[in-house]
Amino acid sequence: MIHLHITAADLASVRFATSPLMETIASLRTLAAGRHGRHLHRPWIDRFAERAGRLRKRDLDLLRALVRPQGYIPDFLVPPPARRSSTFADALAQVTDADPEIVAQELAHLAAHRVAQHGPGREGRQALLQTLVHRPDAGISPITEALEAYHRIAIAPDWPRIDALLNDDIAYRLDALADGGVDRMMSGLHPSVTFADQTLKIVKYYEGHADCGGRGLLLVPCAFAWPDVLVRTAQPASPSISYSPRGLGRLWEKHPEQTGPALADVLGQTRAALLAQLDLPMSTSQAATQMALSAPTLSVHLQALRAAGLLTSRRAGRQVLYSRTELGDRLLSEAGRQPNA
């Protein structure tokens, strides 16, 4: 059990952020668990298997040496995002700028943890880790190159939908804060997280205490954290908790390209397909990527559906996010029940 002690000053500085790098790191654990270990992400695992041939084996071996199936993750691999939404390139720059001395300490700490690793190549990964321990300054560049290559193949193709799910969760948490204060917002983060007497308790395999100490608290929804909660307490940054977002089961649902001739006749094929896509809130650029259309073209369709009451929009930072209204849900549901002509 981790006891994270929070002061009133920390509560005043609670913030949320999404992190494509955290998703990238956490997804390596999902791969290690395999199709049966983390069945919720099974569609993604299957898709990655089809793409994996484009990734160099040495890059994947290096990342698997750094990110084990369970236990400690070196803090320099998961720097806290500076903003609510940041790019993978921004996060990778933070890794590049990590202090080699701290990197060496964290790698040595990881090497000292003899967590069981299953499957072929275990000894080789341990030897690779020992090499990095002795030359952390030379190891940062290969690490960032491997992360960039892996992210491009494993996460980037699905990032628009992952990001939409994460922002939907943040909106829910902020609504809970507005309705019931910090207690309500914290109470539903994760089944293994409880909040009472200004202490967050996170169920883990070890006992530990940490103080936020006025540094605030960063909450990071992370799809690939499921079913765990990832905790970072290293100073001087704010402690962070990465938890599974709500509605995770929707993430890998398939959206049919054809929504039925009746609905397409009324709305047009593009707008009908767009309506089906927006079960999660997306920005114009995210939806454009999913639909393979230009952002200006898609914006026209979004505005038309919004004017018809089928979509709603809200601002999240610098973005405007669109999602289906209850009317849009009903229309799509009824159209799906109609027999094809």
Q: Could you tell me the CA-to-CA distances from 63 to 91, 213, 255, 329 in Å, in that order?
A: 16, 32, 32, 41
Q: Are 1 and 187 in contact (CB under 8 A)?
A: no
The structural architecture, per CATH, of the domain 261-336 is: Orthogonal Bundle (1.10)
At residue 23, does pLDDT exceed 70? Answer: yes
Helix (H) / strand (E) containing 160: helix 159-187
The tens digit of pLDDT for each residue in 199-236 reads 888 888 778 888 888 888 899 999 999 888 888 887 78
Distance CA 215, CA 44 (A): 36
Distance CA 103, CA 109 (A): 10
| pLDDT of amino acid 121 | 56
Q: pLDDT over 90 for what percent of the chain?
A: 22
Distance CA 239, CA 232 (A): 5
The tens digit of pLDDT for each residue in 276-329 reads 888 888 888 878 877 888 888 888 999 999 998 999 888 876 778 888 898 988
The tens digit of pLDDT for each residue in 121-166 reads 566 666 777 777 776 666 688 899 999 999 999 999 999 889 989 9
| pLDDT of amino acid 260 | 63
Strand partners, 293: none
Domain range annotation of the chain: 2-243, 261-336
Q: Residue 7: which of 237, 178, 232, 199 has the closest Cα?
A: 199
Strand partners, 179: none
The tens digit of pLDDT for each residue in 236-282 reads 888 888 999 988 888 887 655 445 677 877 888 888 888 888 888 88
Distance CA 324, CA 288 (A): 16
Q: Could you tell me the CA-to-CA distances from 54 to 57, 231, 269, 287, 320 in Å, in that order?
A: 9, 32, 34, 26, 34
| pLDDT of amino acid 159 | 92
| pLDDT of amino acid 257 | 46
| pLDDT of amino acid 258 | 46
Query: Which amino acid is residue 153, in one-letter code?
Result: I
The tens digit of pLDDT for each residue in 91-113 reads 999 999 988 888 888 888 888 87
